[in-house]
Structure 1
Amino acid sequence: MKIAILSRNGNLYSTKRLVEAGTKLGHEMHVIDHLKCDLVIEKKQPSIVYKNNRLEGFDAIIPRIGASVTFYGTAVVRQFEMMKLFTAVESQALVRSRDKLRSLQILSRAGLGLPKTVFTNDTKNVEAVISEVGGAPLIIKLLEGTQGLGVVLAENDKAAESVLEAFHGLQARVIVQEFIKEAKGADIRAFIVDGQVVGAMKRQAKEGEFRSNLHRGGTAELIELTDEEEIAALKAAKAMGLGVAGVDMLQSARGPLILEVNSSPGLEGIERATGRDIARDIIKYIARNV
């Protein structure tokens, strides 16, 4: 097969691993910078021009679209779909996963456990919002934030009011979530490929930090999911329509709580924690479907 990886940087760990895994399995792998793709739209002949050459002969794509370029990246994925190529992540699922508020609404409708969350457009009603999630400590998240950026822990009501007023003053859209104390600064990432959990790790925030993201200095270790956690992760990926996903969960007194479903999960942390060749799992998933 001829497979394109949509990635802006061929030296990234995840991109290199996918190229390596695909090549070992006998496939022709190409890294394409989606921001340098020109989309040609005409009657029944959608095409893509990349570096002055029309892209032809591809069988499948693996989107690795960064959050900052979701709009254009999704348009490129959609164009490939119009050209009848299989994609490891569908354009609609990618759009859904990048909208934190919409994602939570979809997960809620699917009956999954979530931290209690409030979103409001009323900038004068911050006290009621804080009260609705049980008061401080609480979490305030920018809807456009990624990798732990734009996430604030407000330890008391006054601090929460100040942060919310500041964000509203900047016309930034935020959600307010209850703080799950018993999680103790840790979360779980379950990596899903084609309806199966292929690996899971527990990420622990460094001392003095509440965000467990590896980009923020967190550490990761192999973990075996409980039946309840595995079912929740699979259900979340299915609800979002994702064949490849990283499902982030908190362990709470009332069971697993879904934080986020990531449509472009990094491979480095999960492969090192589990020792599993997850890039190979993704390539084999594509091969089964093309």
Structure 2
Amino acid sequence: MNIKILSRSANLFSTDALVQAAVKRKHTVQVIDPLNCDIVIEKKKPEIYYRGKRLDHVDAVIPRIGASITFYGTAVVRQFEMMNVFTTVQSQALVQSRDKLRSLQILSKAGLGLPKTVFTNYSKDVSGAIEHVGGAPLIIKLLEGTQGLGVVLADTQNAAESVIEAFNGLQARVIIQEYIKEAKGADIRALVIDGQVVGAMKRQGKDGEFRSNLHRGGSAEVIALSEEEENAAIKAARAMKLGVAGVDMLQSERGPLILEVNSSPGLEGIQQATGKDIAKSIIRYIERSI
């Protein structure tokens, strides 16, 4: 098969792992920077040109679209869909996954456990919003934040009010979430491909850090999911209509609570923690689907 990987750089771990997995499976593979693609829209004849050359006879694309290029990257994925090319992540699902508020609404409708969350239109009733999530300590997240950036733990009522009022003053959209104390600064990342969990790791924040992101110095180890956790991960990926998804959840006294569903999950941390070739699983997903 002819597979295109949509990525800004062939040197990124996840992109390189996918290239190697595709080559080992005897496929033709090319890394395409979506920002260097030109979209040609014509009646019943959608086309994509990459650095001046028309892309044709493409069987599948693997979108590795970063948050900073969501708009144009999604347009490229959508154009491939118009050309009847299989994509491991559909354009509409990608857009929904990047909208944290919309994602939580979808997950809530699907009946999944979530941390109690509040979103307001820069409400002046800050204390009321804080009360809705059970008071301090609580988590404040920028809607546009990624990899732990724009996430604040407010330990006290006064601190929470000050941070929220500051964000409101800057007209920065935030969501307010309850703090799950029993999680102890750890979360679970489950990798779901084609409706099956293919690997899971527990991420622990470094000392004094409530964020468990590996980019922020957190550590990871393989974990065996409970049946409830595995079902929650699969259900979350299905609700978001993602063929490939990284589902982040917290362990709580009331069961697994979904934090986020990532449409472009990094492979390095989970492959190292689990010892599994996740990239190979993605290529095999393509093989089964075409």
The reply to whether TM is greater than 0.5 is yes
CA distance in 1, matches of 2:9, 2:82: 25
Q: Percent identity?
A: 74
- Helix, strand or coil at the partner of 1:211: coil
CA distance in 2, matches of 1:249, 1:69: 25
Pairwise CA distance, 1:171? 0.7
1:16 aligns with 2:1: no
CA distance in 2, matches of 1:22, 1:43: 33
User: Contact 1:117–1:176 at 8 Å: present in 2 too?
Assistant: yes
Pairwise CA distance, 1:125? 1.2
Where does 1:1-290 land on structure 2 (aligned, <5 Å)? 1-290=1-290
Q: Where in structure 1 do 4 or more consecutive aligned residues deviate above 4 Å? A: none
- Helix, strand or coil at the partner of 1:61: strand
CA distance in 1, matches of 2:72, 2:171: 24
Identify unmatched segments of 5+ residues in structure 2. none
- Helix, strand or coil at the partner of 1:38: strand
Cα offsets for 1:33-67 (capped at 9, x unmatched): 00110100010000011101111111000000000
Pairwise CA distance, 1:122? 3.7
CA distance in 1, matches of 2:141, 2:248: 15
CA distance in 2, matches of 1:209, 1:232: 26
User: Contact 2:39–2:47 at 8 Å: present in 1 too?
Assistant: yes
CA distance in 1, matches of 2:46, 2:168: 42
Cα offsets for 1:244-275 (capped at 9, x unmatched): 00000000000000000000000000000000
- Helix, strand or coil at the partner of 1:93: helix
CA distance in 2, matches of 1:281, 1:238: 18
CA distance in 2, matches of 1:175, 1:213: 19
Identify unmatched segments of 5+ residues in structure 1. none
User: Contact 2:122–2:171 at 8 Å: present in 1 too?
Assistant: no
User: Contact 2:136–2:156 at 8 Å: present in 1 too?
Assistant: yes
Q: Aligned pairs, how many?
A: 290
CA distance in 2, matches of 1:156, 1:123: 19
User: Contact 1:245–1:262 at 8 Å: present in 2 too?
Assistant: yes
CA distance in 1, matches of 2:66, 2:3: 19
CA distance in 2, matches of 1:136, 1:283: 45
Amino acid of the structure 2 residue aligned with 1:18 = L
Amino acid of the structure 2 residue aligned with 1:201 = M
- Helix, strand or coil at the partner of 2:209: coil
User: How well do the aligned residues superpose, as a CA RMSD in angstroms?
Assistant: 0.5
CA distance in 1, matches of 2:224, 2:159: 37
User: Contact 1:123–1:165 at 8 Å: present in 2 too?
Assistant: no
